Structure 1
């Protein structure tokens, strides 16, 4: 848990009294990734003579003896680069202990020669855990900041040091830590969505004006899967463009192995659980500290009746891993594990499946993704799921195609219509266009001959007119 520090200040050190962020603490934006070391040392580096690992949920560093300078044994974080703004107020805080008392050094500095520092502090660790907090005002403007802990330069022998709850916050600007809604000025309109690309490529088509005004200029999700190429570059480019525009992007992670196990039109996914873990870890790391909303693996909890118990257990492990990647490495992302739709799995059963897949560590869950149930029915379903969960979780509803309610089928049924555009509230935490309107569900219904995920202007026009 992240803590805002309050207490007695002496020589730049705050002896902290733990106060959760939810209890009226001042707003701040987290700049580091994986500061709690739940599963790995991802995002952290160390010098070759100072191996690091996770030990009981802490970062463990084995430091050699006999080094001449403090920087001869180091660890820190520099990728993705940490932005620093001259005149802004920041706070570096962490818990630390060691196998012997040692005086160490920490810096927040520019990651370029001659490595000027805007924070440079000595601190002494002992054999009991202490909480350290160093508020400072940045003296530099840079996009390539880094945090270091310099552990060498000691006359004594080697030792082991432990760190936990490492946090670097930007305390200026009024954005609540971890709240992407308050860090942006609205939802991101993807200029390279399938309908936007079609509009650009078909300037003389009679359907262009309607599709442009009703669909391509609206915020919607971008889906990522095994078609996305280098997932880190693909996600990073999309989120970076949204961040540059001060907008909130919606992303869909859709690459679970054995996807659409009941024989639907969207089969595929990563080749193995190990490949999926690598893929989703790169996905989360590419978002980094930037604000985002992520829908995790639509339909992944709906088709258990087509899976063995071993396959279910394996899938739950992958989903739990995915959730924790966003929790640890994308601190300003709200991640929602998909919870099916109102007509598929009973709410009490879906609640059990969400729990089994680790929803406790996600922001919440999503409903109605790529489906057509009305917002009222979807909100009722989400509330029914929460009625079974031990603790209520926020949920979001896909409203991209639910304006006329459900049809007789889930796969390109006729007579459907666009629903409410992306917005906060509406009975859920958010209403979102998760599915891209006009993208086919598969070669079925009124989309016969159109593969899943392919944009069709005819399907788009039908959604606009509702006929």
Structure 2
């Protein structure tokens, strides 16, 4: 596979320049070699001229069908990512891939089972590296020859427990998915988490040279404008790799950052659907706006919710307060009286 070469990121070059300036009076300065180059895989550009796949088997779509809730159309009629949270989620991917291939659509999936997923030696995620490698292999097999976008491991790179071992796991998974023809976007966190310099170092250690690019704002509520600014700055540090932004629930921006409380981040009262998912051609570096986090999915037992699953009350808020939706769509959501959540799985 042909791969293009690029010099070290600007942040690293700045260090090289500073060192060179400090040694300008040394006679051997002119003999100093150029900084080493980093080789990047050629871009696949999966979103160019693509139609995103609308998954008919989401929790929101199943609830809508059971309850005749047409007011949910603004969510269920639009493309969303399919999360593959453990090996049990892999077999249904085969059917998803087949449907997308038959329709000539591009499916978006999220790989989310890295060992120690929640940090602090948690039992979340794969029990060990080999189990994770088996999971990635099964995912590759389930996708078959359906070329797909895979968002790789939300929070894994920005997390406090990121280390060299985790970087190796991510690099291996990225290489295998990319070699199978899929476009991998490593999750980079969001604009209010880590600096672009630190994030770039972690992306470079985690296989960004093999990936299509990175994802910004997954499951978060930072504005699209701020996410784009941060993404452009980060892209410049990692070989101009393209990026995607999760707009599934950022239409109202982030909740208030008030001292002494973080409950507003968990099912906040003020939230809304962000821009509709679609490929993007008019913003340099940005490949697509996506709904990666499933709209209407609860953040947990908080904000009046008692589940981590889809709830119609969350979906209703997202639709009712989305400024870009039609007045009729918003009014229908406000008028809805969602039934209790039962038997989602």
The higher-RCO structure (CA 8 Å, 6+ apart) is 2
Among 70, 73, 93, the residue aligned to 1:235:
93
Shift in CA distance, 449/367, structure 1 to aligned 2, threshold 3 Å: same
Q: For the structure 1 residues 230 and 463, does the alpha-carbon distance in structure 2 shift closer, same or farther, using more than 3 Å as the test?
A: closer
Quote how far apart the aligned CAs of 1:260 are: 2.3
Q: 1:273: how far off?
A: 1.0
Q: Does 1:455 align with 2:315?
A: no
- In structure 1, the residue corresponding to 2:174 is in which secondary structure? helix
TM-score after normalising by structure 2: 0.74
Identify which of 250, 262, 275 aligns with 1:402.
Answer: 250
Give the Cα–Cα distance (whole angstroms) in 2 for the partners of residues 340 and 267 of structure 1: 22
Distance 2:305 2:244 in 1: 30
Question: Among residues 170, 175, 185, which one is paired with 1:324 in the alignment?
Answer: 175
Q: Which has the higher helix share?
A: 2
Which residue of 1 is the match for residue 140 of structure 2? 284
Pairing of 1:111-190 with structure 2 (within 5 A): 178-181=44-47, 184=50, 186-190=51-55
Please say if residues 48 and 279 of structure 2, whose CA atoms lie closer than 8 Å, have aligned partners that are also in contact: no
Contact 1:221 1:250 in 2 (8 A): yes
Secondary structure of 1:455's aligned partner: coil
1:442 lines up with 2:307 in the alignment:
no
What SS does the aligned partner of 2:228 have?
helix
Q: Is 1:335 matched with 2:195? A: no
Q: Which moved more, 1:217-226 or 1:410-419?
A: 410-419
Aligned length: 274
Q: CA deviation at 1:411?
A: 2.5
**Cα offset, 1:189, TM superposition:** 0.8
Q: CA deviation at 1:271?
A: 1.2
Which structure has the bigger radius of gyration? 1
* Structure 1 segments of 4+ aligned residues over 4 angstroms from their partners: none
Q: Matches of 1:277 and 1:248 in 2, distance apart?
A: 24
Equivalent residue for 1:299, pick from 144, 155, 161: 155
Report the CA distance between 1:439 and its aligned residue.
0.6
Question: Offset at 1:317?
Answer: 1.1
**1:361-440 map, 5 Å:** 361-389=210-238, 391-408=239-256, 409-425=264-280, 427=283, 428-440=286-298
Q: Counterparts of 2:233 and 2:123 in 1: how far apart (Å)?
A: 29
Alignment counterpart, residue 214 of structure 1, candidates 53, 66, 74:
74
Aligned residue for 2:59? 194
Q: Distance in 2 between matches of 1:354 and 1:262?
A: 21
Superposed CA deviations along residues 338-381 of structure 1, whole A, max 9, x for unmatched, are: 00001111111111111111111000000000000111000011
2:208 to 348, 356, 359: 359
User: What CA deviation, in whole Å up to 9, does each residue of 1:314-350 have, x standing for no partner?
Assistant: 2111100110111112x1x211000000111111111
The CA deviation at 1:262 is 6.1
Asked whether the equivalents of residues 249 and 292 of structure 1 are also in contact (C-alpha less than 8 Å), the reply is yes
SS at match of 2:265: coil
SS at match of 2:150: strand
Q: Contact 1:365/1:395 (CA < 8 Å) preserved in 2? A: yes
Does structure 1 conserve the Cα–Cα contact (< 8 Å) formed by 2:248 and 2:293? yes
Aligned partner of 1:12 in structure 2 is none
Determine which structure has the larger strand proportion and give its number: 1
CA contact (8 A) 2:46 2:149 kept: yes
Structure 1: give runs of 5+ residues left out of the alignment: 4-19, 21-176
| C-alpha deviation, 1:447, in angstroms | 4.9
